[in-house]
Each structure stands twice: as C-alpha cells, then as structure tokens.
Structure 1
Amino acid sequence: MSFLCVLYIASQMTNFKEQALMGWNPNPVNRSMYAVFGLERSGYSMSVSGSTVVFSDRAMRTFSAKVMIVRQASWANIKKAHPENVMAPIKLGYSVRLLRQRGHHVTLLDTETGAYTQQDIESAIALMKPDVVVIHGITTAVPSMRQTANYVRNTLPNSLIVASGQHATARPQDFLYDGSPFHCAPQFEYEEVISDLVEAWSMRSLESVHGLVLYDKDDTLHHTPERPLRENLDSLPFPAHEMFMRPEYQVFHPTDVTKKRRWGFAMTSRGCPYPCLYCSPTLRNSYGRKMRFRSVENVVEEMRYLTRLGVTALHFKDDIFTVNRERTLE
C-alpha cells in the first residue's frame, strides 16, 4: 500500500493546480519546483484536489519533519560549455533512505543535473518550506552554499541549516563563524548523523549528536564525540536509487556513446589503506583507512534491485574496488 503525503500549498501558489493540470513543463522558473516534488521523474505520482496536492511514494512513512537536501553545484548561474559525467550522490542517497525510514519527508534537489540558477534553488525552498535544509557541496561551491544558507536563514529563521561535504569536514570554520547562517557541520560518515540531527533539532539538543561540529558563543568550534565508523555495511539500507533514475545521471567515457544506457551507481566498500599524494586526504579521512566490505550477496541483491529499476549500466564508486582480488572475482 502506498503512503500518502498531503501538502497544503500556500496562498501565493494558488495557480499551482492549473500549472499541474496543464502538464507543468519545467521551464527555468518552475523547474526547481518540479524537482522538489519529484513527480514521475523521481517515482512519485500526483493528484490535485482543490488547493491540496497529494503525492504518493511507497518508500514514505508518516512524516514528522520536512527535510530538503540541496546538492549545490559549483557552476550555479554558469552555463556549462560541454557535457560531462554526472554521478549520482550515493552518500546523500543513503541519507535520504535513512531519513525516510525514520518517517521524515525528504527531498533531494541536485543542481548538478541541470542549469539551475540561484533563483531556482530559492524558489524550491520557498515552495517546500523545509524544517531542515542540508546544503552539500565541494570547495568551489562554498560561496553558493553560503548564499543559499543566507536565503534560508532570512526566510525560514526557525529551520535548521546544515553544511555537508568534504570541505565542511576539512574546514568547518569556513561555515561556522560569528554571524554564519549555518548551525552545524556533520563529519566523516554522516548518513546517520544527519538522521540524528533532524530529531535532535526538534528538542534543540544538537550537542547530543555524535560526529558533529558546532559553533560556540565564545567564538570557538565545538566537536561532539566522534562517531565510530560503521563496521557492518550490510546493515545499511540501499540508497534511494529511485531518485537517481534520471537521464541526467550518466557516464560518457569509456562506454559506447552510440548506445543509450540507464546508469546505476553503487558502493561496495569503504575506506582505503593507501596514502597516495594525488588523492584527496579529506576523502580518505571521510571513510577512514580501514577497509570495510559489503558481502557479495548484499551487493548482488542491490544489483538486482537496480535492474528492476531499469538500470542497464553500473558504476561502482568504491575508492579502490579491486583491493581484494578474491572478492572482486567472486
């Protein structure tokens, strides 16, 4: 049985019903709203009744909080000159799944999948009015991340604003300072950290969450106790792959460009024991040096799940997929 989420649209969106019934082509103004609600591109169905829009998703439960995760692209407001690989954010996919399992309404707005402008992002946030906004990005996206966070702080002052990503792990001081719009920055393997944050925010007890950096009033950064790395990777649910079944997620090389493929992405292990100088030390620290593996059976089960979703090509995002020859062959 599908679970229903009923969203009441604010008075300023009274024309939403007409837009939906007309098919609502995702032009630059409403494209982000299309992405927010997911619609059929993310596995949702929609019906309109009066001023109420009903969305259905089998993965959803009874919601207690609205969470929006924004993957902030480095090229916001800049038109890309040529096509390039766009990888699905598997780490965020785990966060979405864990949050949904706890009964929260979660939306992922991945601005790396198209020419989103800052206005698109802000329109999406204004439409959803999330209780929690997680802004994820790399170093070159930091200015845009701050811009988005400032918008949320000014328009939704009661919402929790979280900075995530490698830069937030390596330099949390770039997000947490006097007058910053951000409240905190989860560290390392942060899927469960984000889930715990949502519940802790309702009780205003962020200090109780392990694996977090906060800004203290005495102008210092406060690190909560470190969260141990998850040893049993099989205990994690599969990421929210249904959100990534979009043509924008693709790999151009080294596959045959004359064939259309639906790409899937998976991670079968975490960690890397090697100190390569050309690799990101922050990435190595995120998953640690200790190798941890999912069982072959668990990986095959995920591959079957991806196949049922229509995936015809699979990209493994492990830091070092072939580190164990016997396991790789198996």
Structure 2
Amino acid sequence: MSEETKSQSGEKRMAPGDKATGIKLVAPARANERSGEIRFVEMARERNPRLDVLVLNPPSPDGDLFLRDIARVGRRTRDGIIWPQTALAQIGAVVQEAGYSVDVIDAIGLGMTWEDFERYMWKHKPRYMIIHATAPTLTNDMRTTFVGKAVGTISMAIGTHVTPMTRETLETYPTLDVVVRGEPEMTIVDVIRTIDRQVATEHADETVPVGNADLTAPWRKLPFPDASYLTTRGRFLGVYPQVIARALRETLGIGFRDEHGEIKINPDRPFIENLDSLPLPLHHKLPWQKYKVPIVGGPYTFVLTSRGCPAGCRYCIKHVTYQSSVRHRSPEHVLQEMVMLKEMGMHHIHFEADLFTVKKEFVYDLCNTIIKEGLQLRWSCNSRVDFVDEEQLKLMHRAGCFLIAWGLESGSEAVLKRARKGTTVKRIQESIAASHRAGIKNWGYFIVGLPGETVETIQQTITLSKLLPLDIALFHIATPYPGTPFYYEAVENGWIDMNRWEDYDMYSHTVLNYPHLSSQDLEYWAKRAAREWSLRPEPIKTFLKGAANPDTLGQLWTIGINHLKWMSGGLGNSRRLSGSGD
C-alpha cells in the first residue's frame, strides 16, 4: 500500500502508485490520531478510451477443445476439431457497421487462458461484452461476466442454451446483465444503443467509477461468487443496474432484470428478412489459420448461406434458433464473401446452414455462379437425403463440393418415424450411393438413443452404417436439448438424469436414462458402434490415405489415437445386454 508523506516544506505529496490505483490511503500525521486509520477516497472515473464491444468465445474450462456455434450446441471434441466462430465475426461486423469499436476473440481457437483473458479485460475494459455460452461450459462461461463486472462491462449472453433457459440463467448467475434470445445481431445493436441513450440522458456515466482489481481475485480460488460479494461495497461498478433496467423495458428479444431485480422476458424480435442486409463477417479478426477438420485439412471456415429448416425432427436445435421459416442469402452475396476468403488465403469452406440443400433453385444458382466465375475453392455442406438428387449432386461436385455431412440418425424405420425424420432407410441408401457416384465424400452422423430405441434398433443402425459408402461415421448419443420437443418428452417421462448443465457434454457423459437403456448402456453402444464401423478395411484405408497428406497427418494421428482410447473405454466392463450379439 502507498501512503502520503510530507515534503520538507510541510506540504503533502502523493507517493508513487496512488495515481495509478486511484485509491488514496491517509496515514496518521500526529501522534494523537488513531494508529493505522485508513480513509478510502472515491476512485477516479476512467479517462482512457475504452473498447466499445467485445464479442467472445470464452476460454475453455480445462484447456480441452470445445465445439461451439451460436446456432448449434456445445460439446467437447475428441477429434481435435475447432469450429470457426464465423457467427461471432458476423455479430462483430454488424456492431462495427453501427459505428462502435469492436473486437472478436475466439479464446478456444487462440488457446487463450483465463489469465490471458483477464489481462485482456483490464487492458481494453470493454463497455459491452457478448458471450457465447453453452450448457457443457455454462459456469465457466459465466465467469467472464464476473471479470467483466470488475472492469465495468455490461455482459450479454447468446446461444442455444440461454435462449430457452433465459430465466434460469439470469437467476443462477447474477453478474450476467442480459440474455439475447434467438437471432442475435439486431437485438445486440438495439441493446447497446438503448443503454447508451439512457446513460447519456441520466448522465449516469459521470459518477460511476470503472474497475476494481480486487474483485477479480476470489474466483480463482473460490466457487463462483454470488451477488452478495459484489454488493458488499454498496453497488455494482459500471452502469447502475437500475439504469440498464430503465433502458431495456421495451427492447425486443431479451431477458433482463427490472428495477426491482425481478427477471423480465420481453417478446421475441422478428427474424431478419433480408440476410443480404448483413455486412460480411470480420473473418480477419478470427484465428482462421488454426481451423482444421478431418479430411478437409485447413485452413477452412464457415460461410452462411441460409437460416431455418422446414423439417420436423423432434431432437433438432433448430426449434430453438431459426425454426421452420427459411431465409437465403443471394448467390452473389455468398460469392462476394467467398472471393474475400480466397484473397485472404482460404482454401476450404463449409457452407453453414440448417439445411444447405433446402432450396434446389438456390443450389443450382450458386453452383453455376461459382463455375462461371472460375472460383477455385473446395467446399463442403450439410444435407438431408430427401433434399438431393443425382443431377444436383453432380453439379455440386463440379462447383467444388468434395464432402457432404449427412444427418442419417438411425437404421431403424420405427425410430426414424417416431423422431419425425421424414425419410426412410431406402432413401438413405439411394442418396449416399448417388453422392458417392458423383465423386463426393460422405460424412454420416448417427444418433444412438432416440425415443423408441432398443438394442435391436441400435444393431440395425450399425449394420446400415457398414453398408453405406461413408468416409467418416460419427455416433452421437441422443441429447434432449432444452427447447426441443425431445426435451419436453424426456422431462415428462423422467428420462433425464443430471446434476448440472455441464453434464450435457455428449462425448463424455449422457443425461439420457431410459428404463430399458441406461446411460451406461447408451455409452457402451455408441462406443461399440464406432468400433465396429471404423475397425474395418475401408475406413482404415481412408485414414491411411489421409495420413499420407502432410497437411493432415498430425491431426489424423491425434484423431486416430483419441478415437481408439474413446472406443475402448468401458467396453470391457459393460454388462452383457440381452440380444447384444456378444
């Protein structure tokens, strides 16, 4: 601690360090004053320019890689994959176009530690912070709001978990100021503008100090702090909660606390009708050179083509995000972004959409435009087997499509029907074969444990996976994500077994627990399915062929080792199941 001293002339002078901390400690000048008395003086208001907005993919809780996207769900990855945070770069572009200074930080892509993040916050002191939060990392993600509160940052959370769990999130984490529900871009800009107007009207920024270093220390050693710790000094730092509450009374698409501290959820905001009105994402602010994926190599990134899907799959997170109405960008707008990425040095892109092939006219127009312009970029996409035909697949391959990720889910007609998948096993076989003939690689996603699943239907799925010409097959355990019809069915029937949201990490744990198929059974069968599919000649040949490429050798080696560890874990200790075929 510093203390005031007297100069030889008798005048008081401030010791070094007092100006930096903003806190003046007064020691007794006379013998009759109480020894050790300290008087705290109000901290000086921040004078240095502050960053307006930080858009953040928070640091990992334990250094492991997590796959996260604001229109998808989060999970730990055993594949060493890092998803490009294009959606955050899109938010950053919208905020920047609105006239604010902005930074986009993908802490997972950068390998940013919590210490790095705290140093960043104290250096830049962003006025607003947009956090991408997921269920498997929820408490970890909310720690960013605690650090933010210490430097006077107003925090907003976005994503597929906080949208359906708005009230629960705000009640549990008192340092979070706002939940932005659903499509985030225009709501975020509206929140910032509205609060800024209210602050200016009330002159609320003239009396509120910013920053207090000792607020960030406790979370390193103690459990996540509650509101009582932050209010022991009589108030929050930064903009007063009452000012935020008064500003956001009529703002659409958010959850927040009113002036009495009660949770309020405003009506949702309509979707953006014209996606071409969005500026191109700030790709250059992302660590795009680090984004890699099996078979593809890198660098690669996501390019949005549409939002929404008309299918009715009961387990899909689209019920929470962009729902059934489909909105497309124009092929010309998509091509503009592709050209920009090519000039940056990008070689591969993935067309990000709830369903890329949902509109055949768009696919034809985009592919013909790419071919006409002679743009040499390899690309992948996702699709359903009932939204393609052979002619379309051939055109896609000519335009640069080398890989399609298919949501296949199950080899059981009964399970597909109950999940409202809207397709059949026969159609799965026909479309994957047509894609293979067109020269496109196929990545099949299967789900173990959808409602109606039995040991026999799981075996049907394994059998189908081995019959299809797939280059990669992944077997996920069914997860009833909040806000989906599957979630409400699981809650009603008591199928969910969890202690905290972090249990929603589909690769290390499952929350699903049926009377006839326990969580341990489902984990066993997911691993067994992966083992039966991958330990065959064709998948091994695919792996070795990819490993011969220097660009993907290291990643494929890591993936192979991690998969072997995961597939073998628990298989020897699992109990025998009736009809298991062991």
Q: Report the TM-score when normalising by structure 1.
A: 0.72
| Counterparts of 2:287 and 2:173, CA distance in 1 | 39
| Counterparts of 1:318 and 1:177, CA distance in 2 | 32
| Counterparts of 1:103 and 1:219, CA distance in 2 | 31
- Equivalent residue of 2:358, what SS? coil
Look up the equivalent residue of 1:273 and give its one-letter code. P
Kept in 2, the 8 Å contact 1:64–1:104? The answer is no
- For residue 146 of structure 1, report the CA deviation from its aligned partner: 2.0
| Counterparts of 2:354 and 2:98, CA distance in 1 | 29
| Counterparts of 1:147 and 1:78, CA distance in 2 | 15
Kept in 1, the 8 Å contact 2:90–2:282? The answer is yes
- For residue 218 of structure 1, report the CA deviation from its aligned partner: 5.3
- For residue 278 of structure 1, report the CA deviation from its aligned partner: 3.6
Look up the equivalent residue of 1:297 and give its one-letter code. E
- For residue 326 of structure 1, report the CA deviation from its aligned partner: 2.9
Residue 181 of structure 2: aligned partner: 187
1:266 to 303, 307, 331: 303
Change (3 A) 1:228 1:177: same
Q: More displaced, 271-280 or 209-218?
A: 209-218
Look up the equivalent residue of 2:119 and give its one-letter code. S
- For residue 253 of structure 1, report the CA deviation from its aligned partner: 2.2
- For residue 244 of structure 1, report the CA deviation from its aligned partner: 2.8
1:175 to 155, 169, 180: 169
1:149 to 145, 149, 157: 145
Higher RCO (CA 8 Å, separation ≥ 6 residues): 1
- Equivalent residue of 1:207, what SS? coil
- Equivalent residue of 1:85, what SS? coil
- For residue 184 of structure 1, report the CA deviation from its aligned partner: 0.9
Kept in 1, the 8 Å contact 2:156–2:179? The answer is yes
**What CA deviation, in whole Å up to 9, does each residue of 1:250-282 have, x standing for no partner?**
2x2232x5xxx33132111000111213422xx
1:215 to 254, 257, 262: 257
Indicate whether 1:69 and 2:55 are aligned.
Answer: yes
| Counterparts of 2:103 and 2:132, CA distance in 1 | 13
Look up the equivalent residue of 2:170 and give its one-letter code. L
Where in structure 1 are there 5+ consecutive unaligned residues? 1-9, 13-62
Residue 314 of structure 1: aligned partner: 349
Kept in 2, the 8 Å contact 1:214–1:223? The answer is yes
- For residue 131 of structure 1, report the CA deviation from its aligned partner: 0.7
Indicate whether 1:232 and 2:218 are aligned.
Answer: no
Kept in 2, the 8 Å contact 1:135–1:164? The answer is yes
**What CA deviation, in whole Å up to 9, does each residue of 1:181-217 have, x standing for no partner?**
1111111111111112112122341224221111235
Q: Report the TM-score when normalising by structure 2.
A: 0.42
| Counterparts of 1:113 and 1:64, CA distance in 2 | 24
Kept in 1, the 8 Å contact 2:106–2:287? The answer is no
**What CA deviation, in whole Å up to 9, does each residue of 1:275-304 have, x standing for no partner?**
213422xx4331121011111122112211
Look up the equivalent residue of 1:207 and give its one-letter code. R
Q: Percent same amino acid at aligned positions?
A: 25
Residue 118 of structure 1: aligned partner: 114
Structure ID, larger Rg: 2
| Counterparts of 2:282 and 2:251, CA distance in 1 | 24
Where in structure 2 are there 5+ consecutive unaligned residues? 1-18, 22-48, 66-76, 199-246, 366-582
Kept in 2, the 8 Å contact 1:91–1:191? The answer is no
Look up the equivalent residue of 2:295 and give its one-letter code. P
Change (3 A) 1:202 1:219: closer
Kept in 1, the 8 Å contact 2:110–2:287? The answer is no
- For residue 102 of structure 1, report the CA deviation from its aligned partner: 1.8
Kept in 1, the 8 Å contact 2:133–2:142? The answer is no
Residue 279 of structure 1: aligned partner: 316
Look up the equivalent residue of 1:133 and give its one-letter code. M
- For residue 148 of structure 1, report the CA deviation from its aligned partner: 1.7
- For residue 82 of structure 1, report the CA deviation from its aligned partner: 6.0
Residue 242 of structure 1: aligned partner: 284
Kept in 1, the 8 Å contact 2:167–2:255? The answer is no
- For residue 169 of structure 1, report the CA deviation from its aligned partner: 0.6
Kept in 1, the 8 Å contact 2:183–2:321? The answer is yes
Change (3 A) 1:305 1:178: closer
Kept in 2, the 8 Å contact 1:270–1:318? The answer is yes
The CA RMSD measured in Å over matched residues stands at: 2.6
- For residue 151 of structure 1, report the CA deviation from its aligned partner: 2.0
Which has the larger share of strand? 1
Question: Aligned pairs, how many?
Answer: 262
- For residue 315 of structure 1, report the CA deviation from its aligned partner: 0.8
| Counterparts of 1:246 and 1:179, CA distance in 2 | 32
Residue 295 of structure 2: aligned partner: 254
